[in-house]
Amino acid sequence: MMNFLFRLLLTFNATSLIIVIYLVKEHFLLSNLSPKLNVFPDYISYIVYFLIPVLLTFISLFIANALDNDSMKSGDIKEVEQANNAFLPSYLGYFFVALGIPYFDTLIFIFAILFVFTFLSQTLYFNPLFLIFGYHFYYLTTDNNIKIFIITKKQLKNLNGMSFDKLKRINNFTFIDKEK
């Protein structure tokens, strides 16, 4: 159950920036919610919108500690490939989609479709906000030629002595390294 909730939160975090971009584009301000908030400049609203996914990402990193444990030794890894930049085109696409959405109900429909497809893909949970917390993304190919996705704070440059003793299993192909 914890794994399911964690994957839901990861999926929301990974796709929520489309909502932030839309709210900024539409100049939706916190002062629209309450006249008492008129004292704040517009950019405070935008900062708050951005901080909500950042906070939820931080919470998801905390919840990750409750996931199942796993490990991987250097002998199990055949190849390392950086994945940080591989997802930039997808996220730029999300931003351009958000900028082109004319109505809030259209945003909700498009967000729901993206959310469902991202959740059901269950292969990757790339969230650019992990970069703020110092995480990096890598594809590792195991000695059985299985490609897995690792979210870690480690800088992986070569295979020598590489090991992951505190992996948390998100699914069978995605892991987060909780080693400090």
CA–CA separation, 123 and 144 (whole Å)? 18
Which residues partner with 167 through β-bridges? 70, 177
pLDDT digits over 74-126, tens only?
A: 778 888 888 877 777 777 787 888 889 999 999 999 999 989 988 887 656 67
Which residues partner with 155 through β-bridges? none
Residue 45 near residue 32 (C-beta atoms within 8 A): no
Domain definitions of the chain by residue range? 2-177
User: Helices (H), strands (E): how many in the chain?
Assistant: 5, 6
Which residues, 6 or more positions from 40, have their beta carbon under 8 angstroms from its beta carbon? 30, 31
pLDDT of residue 111: 93
pLDDT of residue 124: 60
Each residue's pLDDT tens digit in the chain (180 positions)?
Answer: 778 888 889 889 888 999 999 999 999 998 888 888 888 899 999 999 999 999 999 999 999 999 999 988 877 888 888 887 777 777 778 788 888 999 999 999 999 998 998 888 765 667 888 889 999 999 998 888 989 999 999 988 777 778 888 999 988 888 999 987
Q: What is the residue-wise DSSP string for 82-107?
A: E-GGGGHHHHHHHHHHHHH--SHHHH
Its pTM stands at: 0.86
